Every structure is written in structure tokens, then in C-alpha cells.
Structure 1
Amino acid sequence: MKTQTVGIIGAGVSGLVTAKTMREHGFSVVVFEKESELGGVWASTRRYPNVTTQNTRDTYTFSDFPMPKHYPEWPTGQQVQAYLTDYARHFSLLPSIRFGTIVERAELLDGGQDGWLLHTRQQGQPNQTVVDYLVVCNGVFSEPNIPRIPGRDLFRGTVLHSTEFRQQHLDAARQQKVAVVGFAKSAHDILSQVSNVSRRPVCIYREAKWKMPRIFWGLNVKYLLLHRLGESLFPYRSLYGIHRFLHGPLGKPVTGLLVKGLGRLVATQLKLRKSGLLPDKPFDSIANCSIGLTSDNFYERAARGEIELANGEIAHFVPDGVVLNTGRHIVADQVIFATGFRQTVPFFDELVRQRLRDQRGWFQLYRNVLPADVPNLSFVGYNPSLFTPFTSELAAHYSAQYFKGQLNLPGTVAMKREIGLHHDWLRQRAPHSSASGTCIIPFSFHHADELMRDMGLPTRRTRNPITEFMAPFNPVMYKGLAQELQTLNAANVRAEKTSSLVEV
């Protein structure tokens, strides 16, 4: 029997683990990476100076390949790329990657029943590749988003996205005035670095949002939130087990007090009232598709006035800077947009894109992995979580089971209904999210449990309920899922044969 081939778009965290996982399930793979190096957002062409993970070292890993013990608690971008390179070498993935290759068009063959025809271009040379299945791993951080603002051609300075910020821009900041637009971790990271070399860089932001300190009153944040108990402080859309109690009539008052108490302690530690960055929304709003960690010195310097704060939006550029919608004039030589990303799939034709996204542009993916209306296609990495390497690994197994016809899925109508219900809940929880329906955070464990149950695998991975519920997340607990699934499938086949014999 001919080995079936899976085409994978992207060689970042998700693409690499998908390639390794698909081979474990018996597929051959070919990976298309537009850059000349692997790593995705961690590639040298994408990362800004001194960027680090938001995760601790031991939670930002794959299940069967831990990060080196000599890495710091929060590894640098360069270290993460080195880790991913070692992973690709260890599992012999590099020969399967076509670097410098753009997928220009992905075309369904015979409505998808005969797979996909991929039109690619490498160093200007066109090529075509037929694959049986296709996995999109270009990520939700693939296309930098810079808002279109009037007057940009008048501005005499430099305009960048955070992914374009490099050492030369940091060096130039010694003699320049810098304005950074946004309130995400990348904005705070860049402002912290610029404030080391330049006087009073400006943070332009629409809304102050809650952030968690890496060390919370002497306690590493992984012991506070990066476990099932921490996640349980926030209500998921479907409550079961202890979550039903924690957010029910008896448990909700206690849970509410705990969350409010956390908020007060965070506000005190970060001096949010002194800086004027105390969010208007309550602390539980931190569970709105992102839980950001603080950057070194940002809040301290904001409280001391060493980072200038400008609440508002840019209305238009002027030759020497920008003018906000409040009328405030900000003088700047560099304007850096840390304004997120757009999720795009330009290689699909209009018909496929209409099946994948609704009128708002939200992706219609069951469990954030499978489109209900497009066959032999899956998305890995469109479920970014607090533990993205792990949830991408899990989505890769989920995709492999689907391609093999071994995933117990509801019908198309039921899948669409579930997608709709999930998106309705997302709109209530995070109405202004830019995640295009791909939001998982902070409910990483809930999402993982859904995928595990769909595959018929146990969600509890240890015999110790205290470790399971209160210890920081450990990806090693999920090591060997391919073998578990193979054993499960063999058992199901035997059961079907036994049932058939009984019926006869």
C-alpha cells in the first residue's frame, strides 16, 4: 500500500511537531517554509532583540524533547530557535523541509477526494506538488498588522512593526525619540529596552490591560496559574466536575474573592495606581484570549515617569510624529507598531476561504483544528495556548487520526453548531479579540481535554490527583500518544471483529 503524503505549510513550532507526529502515524511529509531558516516567530528574521518566552522553560516544550537544563527559566528567542533546530535534527526532519519555498496556491483535486495540488515557488522557480492531505501551520502570528493611518507619507521618521525591530533600531534610539503603539508583551519589551538607552520613550495605548508578574510576590507564576487549579479560577463555557462547584452557587463567592484578591496584589506589586495603568476592567478580564506577563522594568519605569504614557489612538501622522484622536501631538523619530498580526490564508482560492471563514473573518474550525466544509485539511497552531508546543502537538495527533479515519467526529451540521456555540461564547468573553476565532487562552487544559476525549484517550495522566490538579504543567505526561492511539485502534478493531462474529 502506497504511503500517503501530508503537505505542511510552515516550519515553526507547529509545523515541526506536525511533521514529526505525522511520520509517527505512518505518513510521509513535505514541509514548505518561505523563510531560509526554521523557527517561525522565533526565526532571526522575525524576532526583536532580547525577546524571551512568556512561558517557563519546562512548560514551553514538546512532550518527548525537553529543553536543555542549562537554559534560563524564560529562554531567549535565540535559544528557542536553537531548541527547535535540535528537535528537527534529532527527529531527522530537516531533509523534509523545503526552505525558501512559498506556497502560492493550494488547489483541491476532485473536490478534495484526490488530495491537494500545491503550486509553489522556490528562488523564482515554479513547481507543483501533489499531497494527499494538507496541514496549515503558518500560525496566527504570520502576517504583521500595521494599521493604515493617514499621513504616513508625510512622516520623516521610521515606521516599523515589532517583528522588524532590530539591534540597529535600538542603537539609533540613543539619539532619537521613540513611540511604541500597543500594550502587548512585545510593546512593553521594546519600551523597556529603548528606555535603557533613550530618554522617555512613549507608549501609545488604547486600553490598559492586566498583566501577571513573572515572579508574583516571590512566587514563580507557574506555581500560581500554570496548572489546572489556576485555570479553574476562570469559568469555561461548559462546566463539569470540580469546575461546576467552583463556579456554582456555593463555590463562586469564594472563587470570586480569590480572583479579586489576586488583582489587588498584582496592582500593588506593579504600582498600577501610581503609573495610571490600573485597568478599568476587573481582574478576571485577564482571561480574554491572552494572559500576558510583565516585561523587565516596564511598570517600574512607567511609575517613575521614565516611560511616557499616551492613552489614545493615532489619528494621523505629521512630519515630526503623530497626532492622537485626543488631539495630543507626540514627537517621534521612530514609530513602532506592536499591534499584533492578521491571520491570513492567501494560498486558498475564494471558494475555500469562504468555507473557512465567516463574514467577520473568524475561522470556522471544529476544536480549532478541523474545517467542517473542506476535506483532507487541518490547521495546527490555530489553537495557541499557554503551552503552544504541547497543544500544537496534540492538534497534530488529532489531525492524523482524522486523516486515518480513526477520529470519532459528529456530522457536519453538528460540527458547525458546535463552532457557532463556541464563537458565541468567545464574543461574550472577548468581544474585541483580534484572534479571528482562534482563542484558547487561558483554557489550555479544557481545550486539551476536549481533543483527548474526542480521540478516546484519558484526560487524567497521573495517578496522583494533587499532582494532576496543582502541579505546574508537565508536557511529559502526554509522551507516547501515537503508541496509545495505535493500541486503542487495535483494540477497537478487535472489538468490531468480535461483535461481527457474535452477530453472525
Structure 2
Amino acid sequence: MASTSSVTSSRTVYDDDQDYPLYTLASAKTTRNTHKSILVIGSGAAGLVTAQTLIKDGFTSVNVFSQDSNPGGVWEHSKVYSGVFINNLYGDYRFSSLEMPRHPSRDPKNNRLSAEDMQFYFEKFTDTYLRDRITYNTQVLNIRRPKPPFHSDPPNWVVSYRTKGKDEVKEMGFHRIVLCTGGCHKPRIPKAFSPAAVQASGFRGPVIHSSEFRRKLDTIFNVVKPAGYYTNTSPETDPYLPKSNHEGDSESESDDPGVIVVIGGGKSAQDIAAYLANEGHRRNVCMVYEKTDAFMASSSQLSDRVRKSRLLGVLSPHSELRTPIERFLHKTWLGEKIVRGLFQMASNHSFKSFQIPLESPLRLAQEPFWSLRVNDEVCRRGNSFHVLAMKGQIHIEAPVRAVGFGKDGRSLVLSDGKIIRADAVVLATGYESSWADLFDAQTMNHVGLGKYPPQYNPLDAYNEEWQGYTSLEDPPAAAAANKQWISCIYRGIVPARNIMKRDLAINGAVFSTNNGYVFETTSHWISSYFLEDPFLEVPASVKEAIQNTERTSAWLRRRYPDMLHWTNESHSSDIQFWSWPQYTDDLLRDMNLTYGKARTGGNSLTWLLKPIEIDAIKHLGKERAALRMQSSSV
């Protein structure tokens, strides 16, 4: 570490707009940078595997700052509650260096991967590879360039931070930073439900964002009792109507169990509603949404040849169609019918597997082909969200939005004018970028971490390139052009404006359906980038990097026209939802390593359905070391 000092203020504001030069970058190739200090911010999955890879590659000063008390990120100990299952089967979401140990309380018959499994895995991973490397309960307040004059060995970055529960703000210098803060860090709270709006409305119950749900369960349960808790409650009374709507209602408020309203239709909203309505809690739960997440499910678990192979990636159009089967599927009339038909068939089969009728509000779901909001339910579970909603144990108001609080302090007003009972509110309304609080506006702009319009090409510059994609015909309506801009991040890893400085990278911001494989592959790309490995192919200039990101942005506007306004920058530096195999192939190609079927197996007849296992990238570090030795001997 280059420097350490204590200060009394949390942020330095510059009065000019100069991007100061970095004096230490010229020596990078001679030292291979292994002595340079690196700060990894975040102890979620991406942060943990990034730190491990950097340490294995010989970096001698790798530190991890985490604002949490334990590792795991979204699966950190204080955020996990029972009954939450993620979009993976047991053993799927892991890294190549560690098998997934069985959680002591896990039911061997349950094939779904739970949040508790993930928490247990990341704690084991940390204890095995990163013991004493993580500084917990540490909030990063600001990251900035140092201001001249420098001493003889200046850091590239100055980081202001504070230990939880203490007022003192400290500073530390680092040569390299990896942002692994993810996109589920800073709650997005609609203005109508902000703390100021709650206070002004006189609403009497708790209003809690889903990120705090686990920590504030007792607060919710103190306000809303189990359904049927009071024996004198009339069974004919609709619990979801405001109290004033109950004619002749003479019961006191203390004799009413109350209602929890969950605002949102995403996976977090579904998990929370199911948890509250399930056996053992049995609260009155109402869920309000315009659209809910799409889901995939069948009567039995699908084969790994479907779930873990390249099949779904090939069925989803990619900006580069490198194989004959992809060109057939996405550039011919018959191929388009096959692709769109298979996605529609999968969606219909999923609804059928849960016996959801056509008129059900559960059918108000995203289209799987065009959406990023798709969950893998695997197969029907008796206590899942859809089953509980079908049984009437979760009341649904849809398609509507909650627009504000009622005048009685115990209700919500919906966009259709209806008023519903609410004694507690959970906002499953998503997250904002985690980067905006780490950098001041000047540094954000210099580095290039915001959302930008095209600099070198107009918005329609690439229209002709993908015009022949028949599978992308008849798209949903797109948002306004200025809401379609995305982060200017090369490969979703390095801010294009900063790419020549080799002192900042990102892991965990690429939106995909196979995080374990993507995060681990990315960690090797980042390490080679910091080492300036001569075999790593990167743009030769900032302009070339920006032009590459503009092309990526144009593709994403074409591929997901109504989705980009929904994502935030730190969760959408690139979007490789179904196409993660093609994306990781690109990263491997950048590192001059084997990719495609040469790495994951299969021949010209079987490669499409060959399951892609995490062990396929187990020896990336050794492969890169061999290339490094070859380069040094030339």
C-alpha cells in the first residue's frame, strides 16, 4: 500500500476539471505489477473469486474491503432467510477450485440451490482461500485520483473509508482497484414512498426496502400478526379492504392481524411474499405489480444438456453469429419460426406445469425471449410463490402500480384508483447503481462510469449490420433514446476512457445466467490486464475502446429494446443473459486461450448439447502462466 492517513472529512471536492497524470504507469511492463497494491471492493461472489485469482497470480498486496460483517454479498449471513431458492441447481453456482459442501440442514431430496447453501459456500470459500484478506464492516466513502504534488511513489487512487460504528474517516492509497460492488447494493426507492413521503402522509406502519427485509422481520411481525391470530375476526371480512370499507366493523385495531403489501413483481417480491404467506408465518400478503417475472419450469427437472449447454445461448441471437446453426436460426424465415416458437412453447409449458389459467394475473409476465427478468423454477414446488398465489394465500393486484398512501394512514392508493389495506409495506422496487456513491461526479466522468450517448457514431449507425436478423423482428416498444444509453465499459470489465491506465476494473456487473463461470473467467482477464500480459488483446487506444462499447450499446438496444431503462449501470456493464457461453468465449479468445467446443468438449455433432462444467476453466491460471513464459523467452 502506498500511503495511509487519517482525515476528518469524507470527500475531497476539486475546484478544477484536470485529470492528473499518473507517474507510475510507465514501469508496469518491467515489474509485471505484482508488487502493486490492489483493493477489491466487495465480498460477494465476484469479489471473492477476483481476490483469489489475483493472489494465485502472484500479486503480493491484495486487500478486500466489505461493508458487510460476513462474506457472500447478497447471500451474506444477515440477508438470508429460509425458503429462498436461486436460479440454479445444487452445485451449479460455484468456482472451479472448491466443490460445494453440503449444508448441514439441507434436505438431500431437494435439488434446488438455496440462499443458505450460497451463504455456506462463500463462507467456506473465504475460510479456505482468503482468510485474513478481508476487512469487514468497512464502508468506502470516496475513490479519487491523488492531487499533486506526489511523493516518489504515489498511489493511483486514494480511498476514503470508515469502519462501521465509528466516526473517524481514514484514507489509504492503492495502485489498482477492482469494483465488485454489484447491482444489489443501493436501494431504489420511488419518490412516492421515500422517507419524506411516508412522514408527510402520516402512514403509521413500517415501509421497508427488500434489501432490509431479513434484518427488519421483527418490525414487520410486530405490526402484522398471523392470519387468524385473533379468534373474533370475522371470516367474511375482506382483510385487503381498508377498515373504513367494512360496514359495521366494530373491532378494535388490536383485534385485526393486518396486511403486508409487497410492491413489485420481480423475484425478490415473489420470494418475500411466499415467505410471509407460507406455513409458519401465514400473514395476509398482498402483492402489487404491473408485470411479474417470466419463469421456466417443467413437470420434471430438465437435462443438463438443455440447462447447462450452449443450446439456450445459440437459440438467443448474439451480435456475432459464428456458427452455421446460429446463422440459420437467426437469419432465415424457418430459423426465426423455430427460435420464437421454442421460447413461446417453453413459456406456455411453464404456465401449464403450475396449472395457471389464462385469466390469472400470474400470466402478466415478461416475454422470456425479450426479457432479462426470467427465473428458473426448475419444477413445481408445493410452497412456491405461484402455488401459494394460486391457492389464494397471496392476494394479487395487477396490472396496477402503487402510487401513494391513503389518507387514513393504513392504506395504499393504486393507479386504477382503488384503495387497499396496508399495515406494513415492503418495497421490492430494485436498486440503483452502486458506483455513484463511491465517486464524485468529476471522477465518474473522467473514468467513464456513467451512461453516455454515442461519441463517434450516431444511434442508428449499426442498424444495417443486424437488419438481417429475422429472429429480432416485431420487437416490443423501446423506451426513449436517452433511456437506452448504457455504460461505456469495454467487455463489461474496463471503463473505455480509462483503459490505457490499467488501474481500474470491474467484475460482477455483466448480466448473465451463469455467474460462477462468468465471474471466474472475468477474474483471469482482469489479472492479465493488470499484469500487462502481452498475449492479452485489448484496444490500442481509448477511441477504439469507446467505439467498441458503442457497437455493444447499439446491439443491446436492438436485442433488449424495453429492458435497458430497467437496469442500473453497476448491474449492466454488459448484458449476456442467455449468451454467456459466447461472451466467455470472447474473453478466452482475448487471452489467446482455447475456447468454444475445444474447451468445453463435444464434436461437430454433440457440441451444442454438451454440458459446460466449471472445471473447463479450472486451469486458466496455469494456461496463462505458460503463455507468459513463452512471451518472456521470445
TM exceeding 0.5: yes
1:159 pairs, out of 191, 204, 207, with 207
Which residue identity lines up with residue 456 of structure 1 in the other structure? N
- Measure how far apart 1:245 and its partner are: 2.2
Task: Measure, in 2, the Cα distance between the counterparts of 1:209 and 1:164.
Answer: 21
**What's 1:34 paired with?**
67
1:435 maps onto 2:483 in alignment: no
Aligned mates of 1:103, 1:350 — CA distance in 2:
16
**2:494 paired with 1:370:** yes
Out of 456, 477, 485, the position equivalent to 2:592 is 456
> What secondary structure sits across from 2:487 in the alignment?
coil
Distance 1:229 1:129 in 2: 47
Deviations 1:345-383 (A, max 9, x none): 222121221221125684221111101112310011111
User: Higher helix proportion, which one?
Assistant: 1
Contact 1:162 1:186 in 2 (8 A): yes
Give the match for residue 161 of structure 2. Answer: 120
In the TM superposition, 1:16-415 aligns within 5 A as 16-27=48-59, 28-69=61-102, 72-91=110-129, 93-109=130-146, 114-122=155-163, 123-149=166-192, 151-153=197-199, 154-166=202-214, 167-168=217-218, 169=220, 172-174=224-226, 175-196=257-278, 197-198=281-282, 200-213=284-297, 216-220=298-302, 222-241=304-323, 242-249=325-332, 250-270=334-354, 271-279=356-364, 282-285=367-370, 288-294=371-377, 296-311=383-398, 312-318=400-406, 319-345=409-435, 346-354=437-445, 355-359=448-452, 362-374=486-498, 375=501, 376-406=503-533, 407-410=536-539, 411-415=541-545
State the partner residue of 2:459: none
**DSSP 3-state at the match of 1:58:** coil
Query: CA 1:26/1:181 → structure 2, altered by over 3 Å: closer, same or farther?
Result: same
Alignment gaps of 5+ in structure 1: 498-504
Distance in 1 between residues matched to 2:522 and 2:532, nearest whole Å: 15
User: 2:266 touches 2:373 (CA, 8 Å); kept in 1?
Assistant: no
Stretch moving more, 310-319 or 454-463: 454-463
Label 1:432 to 1:268 Cα distance change in 2 as closer, same or farther (>3 A).
same
Output the CA distance in 2 between the equivalents of 1:432 and 1:251.
24
* Partner SS state of residue 330, structure 1: strand
- Secondary structure of 2:171 counterpart: strand
Secondary structure, counterpart of 2:38 in structure 1: strand
Q: What displacement does 1:323 show?
A: 0.3
Residues 300-345 of structure 1 deviation map (CA, whole Å, 9 limit, x = unaligned): 3333433222121111112112101110111011111111111122
Question: Structure 1 residues 13 and 236 mapped into 2: Cα distance closer, same or farther (>3 Å)?
Answer: same
- For residues 606 and 271 of structure 2, the distance between their equivalents in structure 1, rounded to whole angstroms, comes to 33
Match of 2:470 in 1: none
Q: Is the 8 A contact 1:59 1:473 kept in 2?
A: no
Identity of aligned residues (%): 26
Q: 2 CA distance for matches of 1:140 and 1:155?
A: 29
- Contact kept, 8 Å, 1:35 with 1:99, in 2: the verdict is yes
Cα distance, 1:104–1:38 mapped onto 2, change above 3 Å: same
User: Deviations 1:102-129 (Å, cap 9, x if unpaired)?
Assistant: 2222122479995212222223333222
Of 425-434 and 445-454, more deviation after overlay is shown by 425-434
CA distance in 2, matches of 1:307, 1:379: 39
Aligned CA RMSD, in angstroms, stands at 2.5
Structure 2 residues without counterparts, runs of 5 or longer: 1-30, 227-256, 453-482
TM-score for the superposition, normalised by structure 2: 0.72
Shift of 1:200: 4.9
Letter in 2 for 1:102: Q
Asked whether the 8 Å contact 1:384–1:392 carries over to 2, the reply is no
Letter in 1 for 2:372: C
Distance in 1 (CA, whole Å) between partners of 2:63 and 2:300 is 46
- The CA deviation at 1:227 is 2.1
- Aligned-partner Cα distance in 2 for 1:282–1:103: 38
User: How far is the alpha carbon of 1:69 from its aligned partner?
Assistant: 4.9
Rounded to whole Å, the distance in 2 between the matches of 1:256 and 1:455 is: 34
Q: 2:551 aligns with which of 385, 399, 421?
A: 421
CA distance in 1, matches of 2:291, 2:608: 34
* Whole-Å separation in 1 of the counterparts to 2:607 and 2:76: 34
- Count how many residue pairs are aligned between Structure 1 and Structure 2: 490
- Name the residue aligned to 2:462: none
Return the index of the structure with the highest Cα Rg. 2
Contact kept in structure 1, 2:155 and 2:173, CA below 8 Å? no
What is the SS of the residue equivalent to 1:448? helix
SS of 2:497 mapped into structure 1: coil
In 2, Cα distance between the equivalents of 1:65 and 1:281? 35
What is the distance in 1 between the residues matched to 2:303 and 2:266? 18
CA offsets per residue over residues 260-292 of structure 1, 9 Å max, x none? Answer: 22222123223151423324765423xx22321
The answer on whether the counterparts of 2:144 and 2:443 sit within 8 Å (CA) in structure 1 is: no
- TM-superposed CA distance for 1:173, in Å, is 4.6
